[in-house]
Amino acid sequence: MEIGARAVIFGNVVGVDAPHGAVVTDAGRIVWVGARADVPPDYSAWPQHDMQGRLITPAFIDCHTHIIHGGHRAREFEMRLQGASYEAVARAGGGIVSTVTATRAADEDALVAQALPRLDALLAEGVSCVEVKSGYGLDVETELRMLRAARRLGRERTVRVRTSFLGAHAVPAEFAGRADAYIDEVCIPALRAAHAEGLVDAVDGFLEGIGFDNNQIARVFDVACALGLPVKLHAEQLSHMGGCALATKYGALSADHVEYATDADAALLAASGTVAVLLPGAFYTIRETQMPPIAAFRAHGVPMALATDCNPGSSPLTSLLLAMNMGCTLFRLTPDEALRGLTEHAARALGLKDTGRIAVGLRADLAIWNVETPAELAYRIGFNPLHQRVFGGLT
């Protein structure tokens, strides 16, 4: 059943306090939402689409991915199975730096071609918007190539793409032991060049013992702020290094991973409005045992998003439905929390105010499911119940 520019869609609408809801769309926007019995007569002549009680949610948003990259790291998967830690693999020359070689060797067409199957897997699960990071180039030329490839994804498919410059992801081999020089000579010049070319929506960094320290990230963030770009941060993933404090100092859109965040960090995130992006795929893949402080986030009212963290090393995950299940099973989120994490809070983590909810005036980005409740979305494993994806009012 094709949905056109104008439509009245009946179903079990998330957020409507009635067993039978309706969403009315026009020219890509939601113009009315409520109980089916209350649909204004003005819309009675518009095309009607009865979804037979199916669940209607906002379309999913994957707010943290690294889907642009060359190669894979299956060998490191084997190493971890044999007992090597994520940090040990990185220090042995694997990890992020090992993907750099493959990414530098790939031209833009190759990067796009390799990313499209990953993107298609996400779209098949009702995704309307994907964040894509750079960070596997670690030189000016390749960082720009990654961002150009990311922009192309939004032209190759019906999806919104938000880009994050992640030049401060790792120190490349040619700058080993000279992280400060890398920040000054490569990362910041690449950021300025990418911004000048219109390739950057936000700036990210990896604050960790195997990444960069607070002062180095702060120098990158200072440039981002001068350029008028919002920031986000890989924070407190493998240890506690003050990432949440630094992120909130800069009013970051999000702090991501946050396994080692504390109650005090939760208070800072809540005060700044910074979203905690939970990444259970990485937690699962590297067999982490330190859980994010979910109770503290709840107590302080920190918005919690969920994402795949799709990347070749620590989270080769291309399913937000599985991320939803993992968020509930591993982190004990409720299905409603997980759904909000993939929609409303994911939009907030990207600074988007026109999507992520079913509300008048927002984009008509919807997912229609062959289920009745969010709990059924969350509990299945390896099963995709998507009935239809609506992007900007159209299927």
Tokens encoding 288 = 């982490």
| 64 known member of a binding site | yes
Distance, in Å, from the CA atom of 117 to the CA atom of 276, rounded to the nearest integer, reads 28
The answer to whether 187 and 218 are in contact (CB under 8 A) is no
Distance, in Å, from the CA atom of 368 to the CA atom of 128, rounded to the nearest integer, reads 13
User: Reading across the β-sheet that carries 202-205, which strands appear in turn?
Assistant: 60-62, 127-133, 160-168, 202-205
Q: Which residues contact 113 (CB under 8 A, 6 or more apart)?
A: none
Distance, in Å, from the CA atom of 69 to the CA atom of 112, rounded to the nearest integer, reads 9
| 311 known member of a binding site | yes
Tokens encoding 238 = 């493998």
| 234 known member of a binding site | yes
| 70 known member of a binding site | no
Hey, what amino acid is at 3? I
| 365 known member of a binding site | no
| 345 known member of a binding site | no
Residues in the chain: 395
The C-alpha R_g of the chain, in whole angstroms, comes to 21
Q: Which residues contact 74 (CB under 8 A, 6 or more apart)?
A: none
Q: How far is CA 394 from the centre of its chain?
A: 23
CB atoms near residue 33 (< 10 Å): 21
| 42 known member of a binding site | no
Hey, what amino acid is at 354? D
Q: In whole angstroms, how far apart are CA 195 and each of 63, 104, 201, 224, 349?
A: 20, 20, 8, 9, 20
Long-range Cβ contacts of 286-292 (<8 Å, 24+ apart): 286/80, 286/85, 286/86, 286/314, 287/80, 288/259, 290/259, 290/260, 291/259, 291/330, 291/331, 292/257, 292/258, 292/259, 292/261, 292/331
Long-range Cβ contacts of 150-157 (<8 Å, 24+ apart): 150/68, 150/115, 150/199, 151/199, 152/108, 152/112, 153/67, 153/68, 153/112, 153/115, 153/116, 153/119, 156/112, 156/116, 157/116, 157/119, 157/120, 157/123
| 136 known member of a binding site | yes
| 205 known member of a binding site | no
Helix (H, G, I), strand (E, B) or coil at 203: strand
Going by the annotation, the residues of the binding site for Zn(2+) are 64, 66, 234, 309
Going by the annotation, the residues of the binding site for Fe(3+) are 64, 66, 234, 309
Going by the annotation, the residues of the binding site are 64, 66, 73, 136, 169, 234, 237, 309, 311, 313-314
Going by the annotation, the residues of the binding site for 4-imidazolone-5-propanoate are 73, 136, 169, 237, 314
Going by the annotation, the residues of the binding site for N-formimidoyl-L-glutamate are 136, 311, 313
